[in-house]
Amino acid sequence: MKLKTLKLQNFRSYKEETVINLDELTAIVGKNDIGKSTILEALEIFFNNQTVKIEQADACVFSGQSLVKITCIFTDLPDRIVLDTSSETSLQDEFLLNSEEQLEISKVFDCSKKTPTIKVFANANHPSIPPMNTLLEQTNTKLKQLLNTLDIPSDEVDTRSNVSLRKAIWQSSDDLFLEETLIDLSKADAKSIWEQIERHMPIYALFQSDRSSSDSDNEVQDPMKIAVKQAIDSVKDQLEEIKKHVEKDVIDVATKTLAKLHEMDESLASQLTPQFKEEPKWNGLFKLSLEGDDNIPINKRGSGVRRLILLNFFRAEAERRKNETLKKNIIYAIEEPETAQHPSNQILLAEAFKQLVDNDSAQILLTTHVPAFAELMPEKSLRFIDVVNGVKVINDPSDETVSKIADALGVYPSLVTKEEQKVLVCVEGVHDVTALSDFSQIISSERPELVNLYTDSRVVVMPLGGSTLKGWVQHRYLKKLGFPEIHIYDRDDIDKPKYRAYCEQVNLRTDGSRAFLTNKREMENYIHPEAIQKVFDVSIQQDDWLDVPLEIAEVQHSNNPDSKPWCDVSQEKRKQKEGKVKLRLNNEAIKTMTYEQVCEIDSGKEIEMWLTTITKLCNESSVITK
């Protein structure tokens, strides 16, 4: 399950219902004390209510109301819900999804009480007319009575199953008059369904910036606790079998004990019933600690060292999740991850976050008010907290949003002055930056007169699509300076290239700027099949117009004997698989290529022509500045 949207109402400073749309990587940006941490803590209360617990004071002081509502909307839902060995259903069949076919769960906390109580609801597009609107609340006996009352034939209905009974009753109606309404998940089968939904919910791990330095400092312990939690979750089926085995044996002993007691005192024995008081807490059985050199506890080190451990936990997780197939989603929520970190470590951390979310089993949610770290985040991940007419608004990604962030945080481009003029190379996405830079490094090793984009300080390579805040600000700044630009875009379509008109506009400039469309479909078509074979262990028939990432994703999927047919894979899942392949193609495969392989796959030496143009423009700019 993936968390798509969070809604807050009457929670602390969020008086009116506030909607926060979330992505795989979401960076919440805003000034101090604007309500960034509140969002992370609201999710902790929703998922765990442990590290941060709901309190009376959490109700908004300006509303005069005591009910706090935290709502989460999920996608990537389980296909089936198993209530018991004989009852299998789905959220769709039980009319528990909203009008957009998503699972929308609201937790309502009554903060009028010293210890706030909680109720759980599904905001669902549900039957609205009696008796169809209350079937989830009915017992098996009531459902059978209703079946008879409505004269529904019971020949093909399993009357032992509430699922089967509800389905037959709902199907008997010509119009269920579906309306979005709150369904109480604390009653009868609705409660059982909620218990199963909870098994599929993402793991939520909150890492806060302000921590104590006790011997069990959470900042050090929490990553290890999350590791334990994930490991336990991966063997939950085996643990469930162990639990059942233990319960069976213990109940058997208890039953035999009561039987013997019955022989001695019948009245006392009848008052006793064997019953387990609570579920086993597997997480508490495993405790892991980290010790420093010379037996100096890590928590006695500086905050920078402790945060460094956290940084490398995420780097390790990125590597692990890239190489493993993990079914359950995890949400890492990190408050001010840049705290006490050297700028170089901040860059490593940002890269680790980006790698983590490329695996479809992890999401990152972070807060920051530091311009330098915000600059490292992809533009599509940015959310800006603003106050409009006294009401908080969460701005989604747009040029206006990044402009507001730049103005609010005082973000300025770390570029040289006009006297040290550079050439700006514009490509579509971040993967294209890596690809073009790798190609330039391979080619310049054989042709040193051509620019190496990794080492030549005269060139700035920047993605215009899926770009970072830093890239957006720099591009706006460069436009004002009038730097010459080289644009390189994928052709995509052989007859109707998407960027043809834009390239024509650039080529009409008189400042030396040039724009190119690839002669092949896209950058991935310049990767040699042998490099693909080396990285992915798959063989494809490469040509100029093959959708290479999609082809590799399909081959990899089909090579897995446990996978369902590719035609049954949803478009969203295909896109996710294709995205992971695209990442590795541009960040791994090209690096394995030789100059000879580049020349073979790019027989027209198109890439060398781009680099020649960039080199010529750099040299001309150098002459001008001299």
d(CA 476, CA 462): 12
Kind plus residue range of the DSSP H or E element containing 331: strand 330-335
Q: Which candidate, 492, 493, 489, 496, places its Cα nearest to that of 464?
A: 489
pTM of the model as a whole: 0.70
Query: What per-residue confidence (pLDDT) applies to 214?
Result: 42
d(CA 484, CA 425): 9
CA end-to-end span of the chain: 59
Q: Which domain covers residue 433, as residue numbers?
A: 418-625
pLDDT digits 0-9 by tens, 109-137? 999 999 999 999 999 999 999 999 999 99
Query: What per-residue confidence (pLDDT) applies to 220?
Result: 42
Query: What per-residue confidence (pLDDT) applies to 598?
Result: 97
Burial of 589 (0-12, 13-18, 19+ CB in 10 A): buried
Kind plus residue range of the DSSP H or E element containing 332: strand 330-335
Query: What per-residue confidence (pLDDT) applies to 213?
Result: 39
Regions of the chain short of the pLDDT cut 50: 211-221, 416-418, 623-626
Query: What per-residue confidence (pLDDT) applies to 54?
Result: 96
d(CA 486, CA 234): 49
Helix axes 343-358, 303-323, angle to 10 degrees: 30
Domain-located, residue 586: yes
Sign of the alpha-carbon dihedral angle for 588, 591, 594, 599: positive
Domain-located, residue 302: no
User: Is the CB of residue 449 less than 8 Å from the CB of residue 619?
Assistant: no
Q: How many domains does the chain have?
A: 1
- What stretches of 369-434 adopt beta strand conformation (E)? 382-388, 391-395, 423-427
Domain-located, residue 588: yes
Domain-located, residue 287: no
d(CA 439, CA 271): 80
Query: What per-residue confidence (pLDDT) applies to 420?
Result: 53
DSSP 59-85: B-TTT---EEEEEEEEES--S-EEEET
Rg over CA atoms, the chain: 29
Backbone angles phi, psi at 363, to 5 degrees: -130, 150
Q: Which two tokens stand for residue 455?
A: 């080492």
User: Is the CB of residue 552 less than 8 Å from the CB of residue 532?
Assistant: yes
Domain-located, residue 344: no
User: Is the CB of residue 121 less than 8 Å from the CB of residue 46?
Assistant: no
**DSSP 8-state assignment for residue 14:** B
Kind plus residue range of the DSSP H or E element containing 117: strand 117-127
Helix (H, G, I), strand (E, B) or coil at 415: coil
Residue whose tokens read 């009696």: 130
d(CA 437, CA 444): 10
d(CA 226, CA 210): 19
Tally Cβ neighbours within 10 Å of residue 201. Answer: 18
**Beta pairing class for 178-184 and 203-207:** unpaired
**DSSP 8-state assignment for residue 564:** P
Helix (H, G, I), strand (E, B) or coil at 493: coil
* Bridge partners (DSSP) listed for residue 548: none
Query: What per-residue confidence (pLDDT) applies to 621?
Result: 64
Domain-located, residue 564: yes
**Beta pairing class for 330-335 and 203-207:** parallel
d(CA 298, CA 223): 13
Q: Give the chain's largest Cα–Cα span.
A: 108
Helix (H, G, I), strand (E, B) or coil at 383: strand
Amino acid at 460: V
Domain-located, residue 443: yes
Residue whose tokens read 């514009």: 426
Burial of 582 (0-12, 13-18, 19+ CB in 10 A): buried
Residue whose tokens read 């408050």: 335
| Cα separations in angstroms, 515 against 376, 486, 498 | 26, 6, 13
Query: What per-residue confidence (pLDDT) applies to 127?
Result: 96
Q: Which two tokens stand for residue 247?
A: 């319960």
Domain-located, residue 376: no
User: Is the CB of residue 119 less than 8 Å from the CB of residue 111?
Assistant: no
